[in-house]
Structure 1
Amino acid sequence: MSKLNAFLQRDISVLGRQKQKKLSLVRQRKVIELFNNLFASGFHLGEIVDFLKRSQLLADQYTQVLSDGLLAGKPFSSLLGDLRFSDAVVTQVALAEVHGNTSLSLSHIQSYLENVSKVRKKLIEVATYPIILLAFLLLIMLGLKNYLLPQLEEGNVATILIQHLPTIFLSFCGLFFLAVLGGLIWYHRTNKIKAFSRLVALPFFGKLIQTYLTAYYAREWGSLIGQGLDMPQIVGLMQDQKSQLFREIGEDLERSLSDGYSFHSHIQTYGFFKRELSLMIEYGQVKSKLGSELSVYATECWEEFFTRVNRAMQLIQPLVFLFVALMVVLIYAAMLLPIYQNMEL
């Protein structure tokens, strides 16, 4: 009863603000670009929020969230978290607040969000037409099953397959949905180091995950090391971040370093990082240029990641069209084979 009374006594306006919609990727990139440009022009955080509110470049519900966060004394990274930016973006900004190179980090985030937005737009363009074709094909098969095929006296392989294909297709979609749902539940309940160590074993997707994580962590470690932070400081910072994987790696690294293991040797034990990462760390430590080496390597990994994603996008549509073509051939076979059989008789 006390919890109910406390809930009823809460400010209704606060409840409304908690339900604000998540910014789209395009809007997120625009917000990051605005903050980056205004920071570079000498504005401080309070002036930027006031500017966004007066200029209406950001909706009132979002500027109100920023204003409330400022009044509560929250840092910039927490404000982005309140705007429901991803944990990866919030963590990058939080680390930038430590190493001081916020402008560079915002530029990286802006570039990353722009690339992700392009990939998502490309995926929608590639997938929309095939999905429409599959929907029409499914309707045609259902029509054949219910109206045409029952009139055919003799069945053949194509006829039998088309009779059962709608059921098979819908069953496959249902199983796929259940598999994805089960995977999400398993991911949220599992230790993230173990989860990603298993996810990188997946065909095709595993390589993408490995490249993404390698690029992300190489860039963040490179920025921190380049600003003069030593490993104990970096490990301590990692444990305070919003990303669960970031925190778990920080805790694991702290234990390994206290046991006398070197940074590069322990990184090699993580299967979700590329093997070259540990070699780059070892080489950079020898040359005393670890920060710059990791930053350069991270740039190459990001290029590789988005190149792989774009190649994958180019493969999806031809594969779906091939499947649709095979189904059309089966439909014609189901209709024409019985006719040819009757002509022979």
Structure 2
Amino acid sequence: MKTKTTVQFNTEFMLLLGRLLQNGFSLQQALEFMPIVFPTQKQWLHQVQTGLEAGKRLAPSLAAVSFPAHLVAQIELTELQGNLGECLLHLGQLQRIQQKRRRELVGVIAYPCFLLLFLGALIGMMQIYLFPEIAQFNPTTSATSPLQLFFRVMGTFVIMAGALISVYFFRWHRRPLLQRLAAAFRWPFIGKTLQAYYQYCLLFDLATCLNNGLNLAEMHQLTHRLAKTSWLVQLMQQLETAVQKGGTLLANLADGVFYPPELQLVLAKGSPLQQMAKEVDLLAVIKYDELQRQLKQKVNWLQPLLFILIGIIIICTYLSILLPLYHTMEGIS
């Protein structure tokens, strides 16, 4: 039976395991120590240990206990060529940042969402009790109120948008993995952030391989040992196919949405392997900072948008109250 884990535990697991490995623990010793820190996950950790004792590597052992697939792919690549501790620390730190941004997002939208709920309840009460009373002053007026018009327009928009998005996602989900990701990079609002995340993962993996002395040919051989469902493996296969058809490596890097433009410039320089490793490592750090900045920016944009929506609802509510009264006063005069 597979034990379900939380995002928080997955993050802390990678961070702790990375620290233990970097402090000289063997993988088996680290996993034997972990139940002390995570007593509620003893069964899950035991299942991972069982996989290791059966001769599996860490990545397949984690995959067998439903560890997130994208993290398993990153761990598997690093595990095959070394430096596992650093990789786990990087992944854990990235997951922690994502959790932090998620908490910030909840904090940012909590107050506007509370206001929207409060406004919804208030408008419902007004619709039941106040608007019928106002209508009695001018029973001949049957025009749609601004508030009703707003909700009708919004309702129509939501229904149409929901239908279009459902059709799009149905077709999107049936496409190959790389095509799905490339399409996701063009999504409004979050597309650029997704692209930055995958580019960071690519740069981090490439820097790790270069720091361990692997050249591009050896990296290519390494990817053949990874799971074929990994986006990174499929990306390398796509690149290999394009080069075999007569294209150059740099030309294909320039055309691909997965490769940051800076990577092409670094590879075009033809620096020695050690220098190239430092340059790619620096690119990974820069992309990491860019990813954090984009995530923070997206979070900061949400609250003003919600307040604009609240403002529109309040204005429509006032108009729905005042316009009938104005028409009534006009009729009296």
Specify the TM-score bucket, using the shorter chain as the normaliser: 0.7 to 0.9
Of 13, 18, 22, the residue aligned with 2:5 is 22
Using the alignment, how far apart are the partners of 2:65 and 2:292 within structure 1? 26
Which residues of 2 match residues 138-177 of structure 1 at below 5 A?
138-151=120-133, 152=135, 153=138, 160-170=145-155, 172-177=157-162
The TM-score with structure 2 as length reference comes to: 0.86
The one-letter code matched in structure 1 to 2:55 is G
The one-letter code matched in structure 1 to 2:298 is A
Which residues of 2 match residues 99-114 of structure 1 at below 5 A?
99-114=81-96
Which residues of 2 match residues 1-345 of structure 1 at below 5 A?
17-18=1-2, 20-24=3-7, 26-53=8-35, 56-151=38-133, 152=135, 153=138, 160-170=145-155, 172-179=157-164, 181-242=166-227, 243-283=229-269, 285-286=270-271, 288=273, 289-344=275-330, 345=333
User: Relative to 1, partners in 2 of residues 1:60 and 1:103: Cα closer, same or farther, differing over 3 Å?
Assistant: closer
**Which whole-Å deviations, capped at 9, do the CAs of 1:186-236 have from their partners, x for residues lacking one?**
343211222232222233322212222221111111211232223233223
Confirm or deny: 8 A CA contact 2:18 2:87 kept in the other structure: no
Using the alignment, how far apart are the partners of 1:125 and 1:174 within structure 2? 28
Corresponding residue number in structure 2 for 1:9 = none
Using the alignment, how far apart are the partners of 1:184 and 1:241 within structure 2? 28
Q: Report the alpha carbon displacement of residue 112 of structure 1 after superposing the two structures with TM.
A: 0.4
User: Relative to 1, partners in 2 of residues 1:327 and 1:267: Cα closer, same or farther, differing over 3 Å?
Assistant: same
Using the alignment, how far apart are the partners of 1:111 and 1:54 within structure 2? 22
Confirm or deny: 8 A CA contact 1:212 1:305 kept in the other structure: yes
Confirm or deny: 8 A CA contact 1:77 1:91 kept in the other structure: yes
Using the alignment, how far apart are the partners of 1:223 and 1:100 within structure 2? 8
Q: Which runs of 5+ in 2 are unaligned?
A: none
The TM-score with structure 1 as length reference comes to: 0.83
Confirm or deny: 8 A CA contact 2:146 2:319 kept in the other structure: no
Using the alignment, how far apart are the partners of 2:92 and 2:231 within structure 1? 22
Using the alignment, how far apart are the partners of 1:180 and 1:27 within structure 2? 33
**Which whole-Å deviations, capped at 9, do the CAs of 1:280-319 have from their partners, x for residues lacking one?**
3223x24553222111101101101110110111111121
**Which whole-Å deviations, capped at 9, do the CAs of 1:94-150 have from their partners, x for residues lacking one?**
111122111221221121011111011111111222222222323333343444334
User: Relative to 1, partners in 2 of residues 1:75 and 1:189: Cα closer, same or farther, differing over 3 Å?
Assistant: same
The one-letter code matched in structure 2 to 1:84 is S
What secondary structure is seen at the aligned counterpart in 2 of 1:59?
helix
Q: Report the alpha carbon displacement of residue 75 of structure 1 after superposing the two structures with TM.
A: 0.9
Q: Report the alpha carbon displacement of residue 35 of structure 1 after superposing the two structures with TM.
A: 0.8
User: Relative to 1, partners in 2 of residues 1:335 and 1:239: Cα closer, same or farther, differing over 3 Å?
Assistant: farther
User: Relative to 1, partners in 2 of residues 1:265 and 1:155: Cα closer, same or farther, differing over 3 Å?
Assistant: farther
The one-letter code matched in structure 2 to 1:249 is L
Using the alignment, how far apart are the partners of 2:164 and 2:54 within structure 1? 42
Using the alignment, how far apart are the partners of 2:231 and 2:121 within structure 1? 44
User: Relative to 1, partners in 2 of residues 1:161 and 1:280: Cα closer, same or farther, differing over 3 Å?
Assistant: farther
- Structure with bigger RCO (C-alpha 8 Å, 6+ apart): 2
What secondary structure is seen at the aligned counterpart in 2 of 1:268?
helix
Using the alignment, how far apart are the partners of 1:147 and 1:85 within structure 2? 53
- Count how many residue pairs are aligned between Structure 1 and Structure 2: 325
Q: Report the alpha carbon displacement of residue 320 of structure 1 after superposing the two structures with TM.
A: 0.4
Aligned-residue identity in percent? 22
**Which whole-Å deviations, capped at 9, do the CAs of 1:256-279 have from their partners, x for residues lacking one?**
333454332211121343333322
**Which whole-Å deviations, capped at 9, do the CAs of 1:7-38 have from their partners, x for residues lacking one?**
xxxxxxxxxx23x22322x2222111221222
Q: Report the alpha carbon displacement of residue 56 of structure 1 after superposing the two structures with TM.
A: 4.5
Confirm or deny: 8 A CA contact 2:51 2:61 kept in the other structure: yes
Using the alignment, how far apart are the partners of 1:221 and 1:103 within structure 2? 16
User: Relative to 1, partners in 2 of residues 1:117 and 1:339: Cα closer, same or farther, differing over 3 Å?
Assistant: same
What secondary structure is seen at the aligned counterpart in 2 of 1:190?
coil
RMSD between superposed Cα atoms in Å: 2.6
Confirm or deny: 8 A CA contact 1:210 1:274 kept in the other structure: no
Corresponding residue number in structure 2 for 1:10 = none
**Which whole-Å deviations, capped at 9, do the CAs of 1:55-107 have from their partners, x for residues lacking one?**
54452231232133223322112233234332232122111112211122122
Confirm or deny: 8 A CA contact 1:81 1:90 kept in the other structure: yes
